A and B are shown apart, each in its own frame.
Chain A
């Protein structure tokens, strides 16, 4: 057993070093005084200051945030509906096509999704801007939401809903009072997933954005193509920080919720 755990320790250490060292280097060099990103010239927060002065980045960040909030919210509503239809809808005309359209965008190369949506927008004469990016992001992220939510709905005990209906709830009340609270963690993680997918997306946004609606990834991509820059390092560090805090908070919240749920179940069993 000893030999094995030695092997495991080494593989885990090397594996996580590989995953994290590139990001740590990026973060460290964002505090570098020098314009040369590979030579250390002392600690400085100079690049963060310059970033805050950079109007182009700030307005791109604002566009990105708007797009992410709108698209993830619409995607959560549509994705939850789609999950409900897939799990509970029973048989209806074109069900196979429907589930195909839910799963296909998950494996579709982004270049194809982007190209096809752009050709649609041009075909119907819709001017490219914030609206078209929101439509594009909603379409692919609703599929992710519906996968996350339907995996929760499958394990959901249906008799709870039936009990609510028997006790006089309307179907909408039963959904709002019984189903929704139970699937809420899945709906929230679906929203978070849609939100990050939208924040991250470069390819689809490049196809569907107009000149006045540059998003942050588009801006970063065009800056990065010219080479490494300390300002982008600073921006990346801020984004990594936000994600880290978000993921840790989310995992603590779900952990506490699951502990509370277990305790309530135990109390209910005792009573």
Chain B
């Protein structure tokens, strides 16, 4: 029991050190934005896929925004991927097709396997361009975003590109405000630090791009994956393609406004991530492929992020067990120092990261909400652990993976 606890403490310490490394890198390190200054070029043809499943509340916003971006209109084709919608999504898309002839080619999907990856896979029959961008329907791209996301494809090493997601409905309630802080930490610090350090920035599946030849080389979209973005990141990595992160390519999104929707969202992410962990974890770490040594280490740690929730819960239970068993693992004073040090430094690593992100964003008072993140953390750890357990038990219970669409809350069409 004590050795299990030691192992868990070691793994948690590795993640703690990683949090600090990333945060300090963002605060004091050299920042990499290698493609952001590409403002003049012979811009290539690009296809923009807009994933839409029952998106009548939001799809008009993104199509309007895409029709007014600063990109040569004769080199840009928008493909709304209408995945079996039962609301007015099709009607709205078709009205835009009429309004902007030749610039939008809809893909109305009426059957087939559910899920975004499966829909994107089917929509690839309309894609002929090397540069492909992907947006979820609730995003609102700004004028310069398309050029910024296409620019990395001038680099022949780049297979995927990811922009920054910025919540739009921040002020709605406590949950949206907490998600705003989490997104800040995740993108402003985590993703950019991985970019700076030549590690593994993660493809997010929206505000993102992929190179057609790279996608074909790795076998296309994996329709069995619950998180096609994570799956894509690792298959690109294993084949020597880089995914790059563009912190200044910001795009508004809508975050969940109630806890049940948030819990379903994070459980889907956890299951998808754990799928990728099972599929690629050992091979990434020990296999013969094109990833570098530091990409192997960081990629493995990134894959394990969601698995850490149940591991932490087990660690807590083991700690209680050790206490009631009366086992003294280390000399008392060393244990006391270790406990104090971890309480002061380790517990706050993620919070420090978010605080640094808020500072880098030049916002001020929202940092006051930091203590409430304990609530978000508690919900996450139990939701993710629940997802993990249900996934492990799936072969016994016979439960099937299914794709939960995130509910939209926008009221103005």
Question: Are the chains A and B members of one assembly?
Answer: no
Binding site for B on A (CB under 8 A): none
Binding site for A on B (CB under 8 A): none
